Structure 1
């Protein structure tokens, strides 16, 4: 890996895991000290993370970790369902043997990984969802899939392991239902199972977000009053 790739991997890991909190200023000098690198690879990593939607560039103020919100969770979920449903529909219609084998293999690996640490489980989860749509035949749809998956990863990072440990959801059954319907060429069933899976995740993630700070109310001055508003 180049220094820029190493910086990107380290920064991305810290953002996704929450070690660098949403809204946190990403000052160049502090990042260079934190990762033991010069400004050039760190700046390149920040620009790449900006393109992935994980950091925000503020005019004349540098970068901050992208904020999180319930509205953003819903927007990301809606868009993922739109893009992945079309890609999955095309993959099922094409029905190539290598696509089907990829879905079966990645599902098996994901189901066997119960209790695995979060980073490894997330990689297997990504591989499964990518395999579902990989037969769509559209590089642009695949690019959109990767971007949206990346943007949603920090919301979802702990959900897989926490929910599996708490038993609040049967994630294995949800993933199995999507795959089985897709492999059976049951397009409507596969799309419904995919949307149900994402909507359940959306509900869980929104419930875990902190409550937004209340908006200060402005005091209304009575006619002729000199009290400050």
Structure 2
């Protein structure tokens, strides 16, 4: 486990951030037991901020409190991934339909720039691929007039489960090429003001049953 960041934020927030990062990155493996005393000792903090952090992780779906065993790091199963992508697709497709015709030249250039960046990233760099994917999809829905819709989509992308999906699976150059192709197709549909085509391609970005989409690590 990494050390707790030393900054002005409340200790419970920093402990939660580090625990979440260690779970998402796989440093703390699925099925691991997280006892308050043990975590507090490893991080060099008291039990109180650890208890608060573990409670928050449970609310976020990263851990489960099991009587007699403490907090257990949850497995990330295929159904959970499908649920996340199903909701994201429904909301993002609605936002794209809402936004078609409202994209400025600057916004279209921004989307193209994010695709170009994705093209040169190391295909094994999960953190950078997640950052660029998140940035593209949030830029994609930015022109939607519904503030609440955009806010919900942002909250999904900010949820630790979304980040964990990216880092739990090795995506590789084939998947990277597919993402780039899909994103360029979406961008062209936006330029053509073709919402049906944009939403059709967007569906491929959320197709977790595509056998080429994920390869389990290990």
Map 1:181-196 onto structure 2 (within 5 A).
181-196=189-204
- The match for 2:79 is 71
For 1:44 and 1:93, locate their aligned partners in 2 and report how far apart those are by CA, in whole Å.
46
Task: Return the TM-score normalized by structure 2.
Answer: 0.75
Report if aligned partners of 1:8, 1:42 keep a CA contact under 8 Å in 2.
Answer: yes
Asked if the contact 1:110/1:128 (under 8 Å) is kept, the reply is no
Partner of 2:172: 163
Question: Larger radius of gyration, structure 1 or 2?
Answer: 1
**2:24–2:167 Cα contact (<8 Å) kept:** yes
| Number of residue pairs the alignment of both structures matches | 207
- Asked if the contact 2:175/2:212 (under 8 Å) is kept, the reply is no
> Residues 85 and 191 of structure 1 are in contact (CA less than 8 Å); yes or no, is this contact kept in structure 2?
yes
Contact 2:123–2:172 (CA under 8 A) maintained in structure 1: no
Structure 1: runs of 5 or more not aligned? 211-229
Task: Give secondary structure in 1 for the equivalent of 2:72.
Answer: strand
1:24 maps onto 2:32 in alignment: yes
Take 2:73 and 2:213, find their aligned partners in 1: how far apart are those partners?
Answer: 18
Q: Verify: 1:103 aligned to 2:141, yes or no.
A: no
Contact 1:70 1:206 (8 Å CA) reproduced: no
After TM superposition, list the pairs within 5 Å mapping 1:1-229 onto structure 2: 1=7, 2=9, 3-57=11-65, 62-96=70-104, 99-115=107-123, 117-149=125-157, 150=159, 151-157=161-167, 159=169, 162-164=171-173, 167=174, 170=177, 171-199=179-207, 203-204=211-212, 208=216
Residue 204 of structure 1 and its aligned partner are, at CA, apart by 4.6
Once the two structures are TM-superposed, the CA of residue 191 in structure 1 deviates from its matched residue by 1.0
Q: Which runs of 5+ in 2 are unaligned?
A: 1-6
TM, length-normalised to structure 1: 0.72
Q: Kindly report the root-mean-square deviation, in angstroms, between the aligned alpha carbons of the 2 structures.
A: 3.1
- CA shift, 1:90, in A, is 1.9
Q: Do the aligned partners of 2:84 and 2:162 also contact (CA within 8 Å) in 1?
A: yes
